[in-house]
Amino acid sequence: MKFQIKSTGIYLLLFFASFSLYLTSCKKDFSTAAATKGQFNRSTKALYSDTRTVPVATKTLSGIITGTRSLSNDTLYYLSGPVYVDSLATLNIEAGTFIKGVDKVNTPNGFPSYLVVRRGGKIFADGTAESPIVFTSQYSANNRNEGDWGGIVILGRAPVNNVRPKIEGIPAEQIPAALASKDAIGYGGDINNDNSGRLVNVRIEFAGEVITEGNELNGLTLGGVGSGTTLDHIQVSIGADDAFEFFGGSVNATYLISYFNDDDDFDFDQGYQGSIQFAVAQKDPNIIAYPRSGNPNGIESNNVTSPIITGGTYSGRVTTPILSNFSILGDTTSAPSAGTGTVFRVGSSAVFKNSVVGGFYAGANLGTAAGSLVFTGNYLHYFTNNGYPVTGNNIDNTDSNFFLLTAPYNATAPDWRYVSDPINGIFSPLASGWNGTGLSVTHAGGSLLSFTNTTFIGAFGENDGTQNGNRWDSTGWASYTPRTNTY
């Protein structure tokens, strides 16, 4: 057994030796609990289905939105083809509203449906825990698939390290004639605290459009978005490419979920310097029915991506996300030969701490990262290749749940809380050890002004024996049954 423990070796040996005793004598009701040891579909009851019905009244959104447009939850809206919120325009979306993207086979021009908020435009999508806003497929339950529509693109005026970039995934022919001469999909500027609005308690499902390799629409694409923008409690599920991609900018985020997306869960490029706390990612175990991309990473970070035009004011700005309390999970027992839990490359930097990574071919690949990268205080599992060994972390290649989460690889009832049983003297190593050194929000604003000292490692706290305790995904806004939800 290859087991690299830098600081807690003796403790963990005792911990695992006691684990079988815990399974039979624990006084708490953990339901799927630690007994799953990461087995998918162990629970027969799916978690957090959305049983709401959509309104009978419908309206279609298309073309360019100017002025102020407000969407209400008494109407079901369809995005038909590319829809642009113009500069200086505002799109307001009421809590509980459903917006369905029309499949490109059903749009008048054959273009995919997606929403673009241009530089200077704003979107205010303020859902609530009980009434989240849902962007989803036009199709009915059990007929939805990744790539049914394009996704959401927000473009801002915060700095990027490329010169006059245009957001990827949108070919020139899909830009309306009225915007063709107005740099319709350009992003970036010199306003770090630029404000593009709010996305709060929002789900984005079945999105993504792959034009060519490296030229795609993601669930949520953010280009040069500033720290005045609020991103909080957002779930991207079953997308055809990345869940979240940050092209430069300074926007911060809290409470993000990437669920069953085909490619990367979190992608950082073009000098992104925002901060994120509390994020979880889970790959789809059914890779036969739902194949992934050729290189599906948990985190992928680059400094500058093609096309590269250097020499601008911010050409020296290095991609440096500040990340804490992530849980990034792949597969429970084996993994494809491609896919790494965390990839920092092409001179990108970061602070990555207090996090859990497991179930990937490799746990980390830091070979071409900047020397300033801080990657410590994490728990990493890998199946085949450790990538580049990382000091200051706890690393294992024999047990994809050696950190003892409740049900981290369960497809329909995931539970990423850690398990502790003080009655039997058994404690997850994640229960303590949170370290805030180096965790400073680079551009405070939006949903994150400073990092919270949780004491624990990973995205969630302790399993307290109840279904919903210590779960920030349990209040009604998230759902792990998007294929079968009845809306």
Q: Residue 183: count other Cβ atoms within 10 Å of its Cβ.
A: 15
For 29-59, letters b (16+ CB in 10 Å) and e give ebbbbbbbbbbbebbeebbbebebebbeeee
Record the tokens describing residue 332, joined without a space.
């429970």
DSSP 342: E
d(CA 10, CA 17): 11
Burial class (CB in 10 A: 0-12, 13-18, 19+), 17: exposed
Record the tokens describing residue 30, joined without a space.
């953990």
The letter for the amino acid at 425 is G
Cis peptide before 307 (omega within 30 of 0): yes
Q: For the chain, what's the residue count?
A: 487
| Global pTM value | 0.91
pLDDT tens, residue by residue, 160-201: 999 999 999 999 999 999 999 999 999 999 999 999 999 999
Q: C-alpha 242: how far from its chain's center?
A: 8
Supply the pLDDT for residue 287.
66
Q: Are 66 and 77 in contact (CB under 8 A)?
A: no
Ranges under pLDDT 70 in the chain: 1-45, 213-214, 287-291, 306-307, 310, 336-337
